[in-house]
């Protein structure tokens, strides 16, 4: 499962993922994304937080 940090305007944006989350091996999480407790991300999902 790719979890990708990005840089926007000189600031690094990295996903914050609660340890109780389940994320599929085929899901992508990119940039400024916050996932709280017990979230689920299914197969093929792409969550992007790369626009400000």
User: What pLDDT digit, counting tens, does each position of 1-52 carry?
Assistant: 789 999 988 999 999 999 999 999 999 999 999 999 999 999 999 999 987 5
The pLDDT of residue 52: 59
pLDDT value of position 9: 87
pLDDT at residue 34 in the model: 97
**pTM (2 decimals)?**
0.84
Domain count, the chain: 1
pLDDT reported for residue 51? 76
- The pLDDT of residue 8 is 85
Distance in angstroms (rounded) separating the CA atoms of residues 31 and 38: 20
Domain that holds residue 37: 3-49
């Amino acid at each position: 499962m790719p979890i990708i940090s990005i840089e926007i305007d000189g600031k690094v944006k990295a996903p914050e993922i609660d340890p109780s989350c389940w994320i599929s091996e085929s899901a992508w999480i990119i940039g400024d994304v916050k996932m709280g407790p017990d979230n689920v991300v299914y197969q093929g999902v792409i969550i992007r937080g790369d626009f400000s």
